[in-house]
Structure 1
Amino acid sequence: MKLNTQSGSVRWALASLSLSMLMPSLDTSIANAGLPTLSQALDASFQEVQWIVLAYLLAITTLIVSVGRLGDIVGRRRLLLFGIAIFTLASLACGLAPSLGWLVAARAVQGFGAAIMLALTVAFVGETVPKAQTGSAMGLLGTMSAIGTTLGPSLGGVLISGFGWQAIFLVNLPLGVLNGVLAYLYLPADRPTPKAQRSGFDVVGTLVLALTLGAYALAMTLGAGVWGSFNLALLLIAVAGTGVFLFIEATVASPLIKLALLRDRGLSASLAMSTLVSTVMMSTLVVGPFYLSGALGLNAVLVGLTLSAGPLVAALTGVPAGRWVDRFGAQRMSVFGLVAMAFGACVLSIIPTRVGVLGYLVPIAVITASYALFQAANNTLIMAGVSPDQRGVIAGLLSLSRNLGLITGASVMGAVFALASSATDVTNAAPEAIAHGMAITFAVAAGLIGLALVIALPALKGERAVA
């Protein structure tokens, strides 16, 4: 990635931001590789060790908007340094954990640090690179996120086999120290704000939002896709919490989220598209393993290699996608990315199993490359016109929309796949049933991308009218 800067400080600042995106992404997937080993080492059931992943996910989901806003108030550089320190120390606590309870608690704290890093990394782009190269920077961050996701399972397997399960957490220590040094030396210093001009922090709104998001995340994840009365109760709590939160934000003096921001059509459209697209991307991770093993008959090694192709494509196309955004315009590239994703989903919904692995890999490559383009374009669209004092909270909303899409996709699209396969246990379903489930799931995915296009096209027409 070439940036025309007067010094190398911007490159080092981007190196810090890249690490701040890589580390939380890596820890989202690296722990999954260690769950069987952790189950044996800690003498816990598989359902119990799943909380090692869930605690991390819940912490990020519930806190990411609040920490973004907090960065706007107290200073993003100061808070990011704190987040890096928290993440690194929590990683040490994870590696030294003597029990499952200790490990789950440490993972929740690690998720707090990850939320700070994810929320503020995107917000920092506007302060570190020229506006004309925002797309390239967003593409780089998207690449680092994809690399972290791709590298996690394989790196986790290598570390566990060579050094034990503790190594999957202790690997963060040198990365955290390096990141902290780079952030301290090269990220732009916080601008002092007179005390009279500082906004207050909406504590009540923050607590209500955290409880609301936590209830929604638990409703979508508990039961592994099998819904019960407890899931429904949590979902109702989330709906009620949303109403309470909106009331608080409309009446409080210093709201966590200014409702005027959500009334902005461009921002609301971009956040909605981010959620829809992330829901579809999770479909590939939910359905892919069952289709490859159950319908195509691949062994575990080949399934793992095939699944890694998608994130690898996203990693390779992230930076070029960012350059396309800078060259051709964020709005046009977001629409182009959505059209290509819809095409790939349609192909997956009609491809016959006799085509084999190639019939899966090609459309998946189209979907993931197009996703990288959409991400770079949509992130650029969201952050381009944001005032400096709102960058943190908007970046937090962007990350939240993506996270909610992933959580929803894992639950809803998993349920669609199971229902379409007509099997209570998909692992024992016939190959034809799994193939049918695959077709229906990606037909639904194509419909979701079509809905995102309906949202995106009016904005594109508006851009052409202005031009």
Structure 2
Amino acid sequence: MTDASTGSVTAPRRAASAQNTPRSAWPALWALVIGFFMILVDTTIVSVANPAIKAALDPDTNNLDNVVWVTSAYLLAYAVPLLITGRLGDRFGPKNIYLVGLAIFTLASLGCGLSPTLGALIAFRAVQGIGAALMTPQTMAVITRTFPPNQRGAAMGLWGATSGVAMLVGPLAGGLLVDGFGWEWIFFVNLPVGVIGFVLAWILVPRLEKHPHRFDLVGVVLSAVALFLIVFGLQEAQTYDWGVIWGPVTVWGLILVGIAVLGLFIWQQFRTKSEPLVPMALFRDRNFSVANLGIAAVGFTVTSMSLPLMFFIQLARGLTPTESALLLVPMAVAAGVLSPIAGRWIDRTDPRVLLVPGLLLVAGSLVLYSVFMNLDTPIWAFLIPSLIMGIGNAGMWGPLATTATRNLSPRQAGAGAGIYNTTRTIGSVLGSAAIAAFMQARLEANLPGAGDGGFEAGQLPDVVAGPFATAMAQTILLPAAVMLVGVVAVLFLRRPTPSTAAWEAPVRTE
């Protein structure tokens, strides 16, 4: 491709001369996208490898909550620091914080691959999450600070296309690596990518002007406690039958205390006069607020849908991880090709024109998956909802991010990116926790006593595979319902006007 949305060799020059975009903007974005790509690939690889990880490190139980913590620990450690890591980028420079995060993520990947137990793997996944939390806000902050508002859609189109390509590369690479070398290699593959990404970011990403900030440590503690209590309660709910966890502590007690602490955190943010962790003034912009609601629904849906789908494909239908990943090719190709086009459109149209049909297509594809998830549907038929979901994804990721960041000033870039990514990741954490509880509940309903034995990939007899498939089909309707909530939210967006965009050319310090 040769247009600006793809970040081609000629596009940055045209953008720099015609639109006053710094000449370094596109090369810097490409360098940052490598790390963002690695984060996304790592998530999708793990979803494909979950059955193999469970068979290798937790083979003796049918409790799916155990292996789900491989994802949930990562997402929880990812979500909690995001609010402050965006501010760290403002304070110490997005380039510096990004490089630190990339180094942590890459080294933690080595630890994941060498983990001898499920507990060790979960611990290193949490460290990976911290590294990802340091990296992610910096990508969006650089886009906000180096691209003027009328070009952010093109930049976010590349950001959205990255997620589409990751959807393809992650599952395919995961399937090939798990089948050929073992689950450990889904983490070892991050090592060369991390080194290359570090070198390119060191060379290409400019050192932008720093903005001093005070850090709201009370807010950090309150938000961390609230998130942990809520997510842990949801994650372990089915294990403890929504009852007592230990002593007087119950699942509902943890969740209610977490909600109360979350309310205290919000109250504290309104009361903080200097610099709250979450600047509530940002939410006066309706599009920023609504885009955050939309991305929470997207995070919930994208994270939660993969678990029942992959367990159905591999356990009920007996496909290998590689074969399972091939069913996602239409989704990845459609998202990767269409996202840059959507990025160009969002710069000059009402965001609802793309977001409403995009989210509806994703919800519809999940319903279609549910209809197809039985033992009689031909395997090729699963390519249809995959394609529909890919088309929907193109109208979802980039347009939401562009809408959220369009009116942010350079000083607000880190805080805004931190809030947006926190909201997305909170949605993902809740999705991971809720889908585990709901999946286990559906399994118990369709297979009473399912926790007494072990599931082995590709070896479920028909008498078990049928009810198992029914349970997975019912489970995938949960993310479909949450996506419809996102559709309702984006209906309240406004079409942005050029006069609302506050932007000034970035100041480089090198």
Task: Provide TM-score, normalisation by structure 1.
Answer: 0.82
Counterpart for residue 395 of structure 1: 417
* Mapping of residues 219-258 of structure 1, within 5 Å: 219-222=233-236, 227-229=241-243, 230=245, 231-252=251-272, 253-258=274-279
* Pair 1:5-2:12 in alignment: yes
Amino acid corresponding to residue 68 of structure 1 in structure 2: G
* Equivalent pair of 2:164/2:331 in contact (CA under 8 Å): no
* Mapping of residues 46-65 of structure 1, within 5 Å: 51-65=69-83
- Which range is displaced more, 417-426 or 145-154? 417-426
Alignment deviations for residues 92-132 of structure 1 (CA, whole Å, 9 cap, x no partner): 44445566655444332221111111222122112343433
User: Structure 2: how far apart are the matches of 1:298 and 1:36?
Assistant: 12
Query: Per the alignment, in what secondary structure is the counterpart of residue 459 of structure 1?
Result: coil
Query: Per the alignment, in what secondary structure is the counterpart of residue 256 of structure 1?
Result: coil
* Mapping of residues 38-77 of structure 1, within 5 Å: 51-77=69-95
Counterpart for residue 505 of structure 2: none
* Pair 1:212-2:212 in alignment: no
Amino acid corresponding to residue 333 of structure 1 in structure 2: L
* Pair 1:14-2:6 in alignment: no
User: Structure 1: how far apart are the matches of 2:155 and 2:496?
Assistant: 25
Counterpart for residue 203 of structure 1: 217
Counterpart for residue 486 of structure 2: 452
* Equivalent pair of 1:225/1:414 in contact (CA under 8 Å): no
User: Relative to structure 1, is the Cα distance of residues 356 and 328 closer, same or farther in structure 2, using a 3 angstrom cutoff?
Assistant: farther
User: Structure 2: how far apart are the matches of 1:305 and 1:39?
Assistant: 21
Query: Per the alignment, in what secondary structure is the counterpart of residue 257 of structure 1?
Result: coil
Q: 2:393 aligns with which of 371, 375, 387?
A: 371
User: Structure 1: how far apart are the matches of 2:178 and 2:471?
Assistant: 37
Q: CA shift at 1:385, angstroms?
A: 0.6
* Pair 1:338-2:359 in alignment: yes
Query: Per the alignment, in what secondary structure is the counterpart of residue 81 of structure 2?
Result: helix
User: Structure 2: how far apart are the matches of 1:333 and 1:430?
Assistant: 39
Counterpart for residue 148 of structure 1: 166
* Mapping of residues 392-431 of structure 1, within 5 Å: 392-412=414-434, 422-424=445-447, 431=466
User: Structure 2: how far apart are the matches of 1:62 and 1:88?
Assistant: 20
* Mapping of residues 54-453 of structure 1, within 5 Å: 54-95=72-113, 103-159=121-177, 166-193=184-211, 198-222=212-236, 227-229=241-243, 230=245, 231-252=251-272, 253-282=274-303, 284-289=305-310, 292=313, 297=317, 299-300=319-320, 302-307=323-328, 309-345=330-366, 347=368, 356-357=378-379, 359-412=381-434, 422-424=445-447, 431=466, 434=469, 438=473, 442=477, 447-453=481-487
User: Relative to structure 1, is the Cα distance of residues 209 and 10 closer, same or farther in structure 2, using a 3 angstrom cutoff?
Assistant: same
- Which range is displaced more, 396-405 or 76-85? 396-405
User: Relative to structure 1, is the Cα distance of residues 351 and 182 closer, same or farther in structure 2, using a 3 angstrom cutoff?
Assistant: closer
User: Relative to structure 1, is the Cα distance of residues 125 and 37 closer, same or farther in structure 2, using a 3 angstrom cutoff?
Assistant: same
User: Relative to structure 1, is the Cα distance of residues 414 and 221 closer, same or farther in structure 2, using a 3 angstrom cutoff?
Assistant: closer
User: Structure 2: how far apart are the matches of 1:200 and 1:49?
Assistant: 38
User: Relative to structure 1, is the Cα distance of residues 108 and 462 closer, same or farther in structure 2, using a 3 angstrom cutoff?
Assistant: closer
User: Structure 2: how far apart are the matches of 1:365 and 1:150?
Assistant: 12
User: Relative to structure 1, is the Cα distance of residues 335 and 179 closer, same or farther in structure 2, using a 3 angstrom cutoff?
Assistant: same
Amino acid corresponding to residue 212 of structure 1 in structure 2: A
User: Relative to structure 1, is the Cα distance of residues 80 and 280 closer, same or farther in structure 2, using a 3 angstrom cutoff?
Assistant: closer
Query: Per the alignment, in what secondary structure is the counterpart of residue 458 of structure 1?
Result: coil
User: Structure 1: how far apart are the matches of 2:129 and 2:309?
Assistant: 27
- Which range is displaced more, 155-164 or 251-260? 155-164
Query: Per the alignment, in what secondary structure is the counterpart of residue 492 of structure 2?
Result: helix
Task: Provide TM-score, normalisation by structure 2.
Answer: 0.76
Amino acid corresponding to residue 404 of structure 1 in structure 2: I
User: Structure 2: how far apart are the matches of 1:462 and 1:179?
Assistant: 34
Structure 1 unaligned runs (5+)? none
Alignment deviations for residues 310-336 of structure 1 (CA, whole Å, 9 cap, x no partner): 345433433233233235343422223
Alignment deviations for residues 122-175 of structure 1 (CA, whole Å, 9 cap, x no partner): 221123434333222212222323433443344245445655655433332322
Structure 2 unaligned runs (5+)? 5-10, 17-22, 246-250, 451-459, 501-510
- Which range is displaced more, 40-49 or 235-244? 40-49
User: Relative to structure 1, is the Cα distance of residues 161 and 233 closer, same or farther in structure 2, using a 3 angstrom cutoff?
Assistant: same
User: Relative to structure 1, is the Cα distance of residues 175 and 99 closer, same or farther in structure 2, using a 3 angstrom cutoff?
Assistant: same
Q: CA shift at 1:214, angstroms?
A: 2.1
User: Structure 2: how far apart are the matches of 1:393 and 1:453?
Assistant: 25
User: Relative to structure 1, is the Cα distance of residues 384 and 247 closer, same or farther in structure 2, using a 3 angstrom cutoff?
Assistant: same
Q: CA shift at 1:377, angstroms?
A: 0.7
Alignment deviations for residues 342-400 of structure 1 (CA, whole Å, 9 cap, x no partner): 44455556679776445543234223321231211111000111121222222222222
User: Structure 2: how far apart are the matches of 1:35 and 1:77?
Assistant: 33
Higher helix share: 1
* Equivalent pair of 1:65/1:397 in contact (CA under 8 Å): yes
User: Structure 1: how far apart are the matches of 2:315 and 2:114?
Assistant: 39
Amino acid corresponding to residue 245 of structure 1 in structure 2: F
- Which range is displaced more, 17-26 or 310-319? 310-319
User: Structure 1: how far apart are the matches of 2:68 and 2:306?
Assistant: 17
User: Structure 1: how far apart are the matches of 2:359 and 2:397?
Assistant: 10
- Which range is displaced more, 35-44 or 249-258? 35-44
Query: Per the alignment, in what secondary structure is the counterpart of residue 218 of structure 1?
Result: helix
Paired residues, what number? 458
User: Relative to structure 1, is the Cα distance of residues 165 and 307 closer, same or farther in structure 2, using a 3 angstrom cutoff?
Assistant: closer
User: Structure 1: how far apart are the matches of 2:380 and 2:494?
Assistant: 34
User: Relative to structure 1, is the Cα distance of residues 182 and 351 closer, same or farther in structure 2, using a 3 angstrom cutoff?
Assistant: closer
- Which range is displaced more, 146-155 or 349-358? 349-358
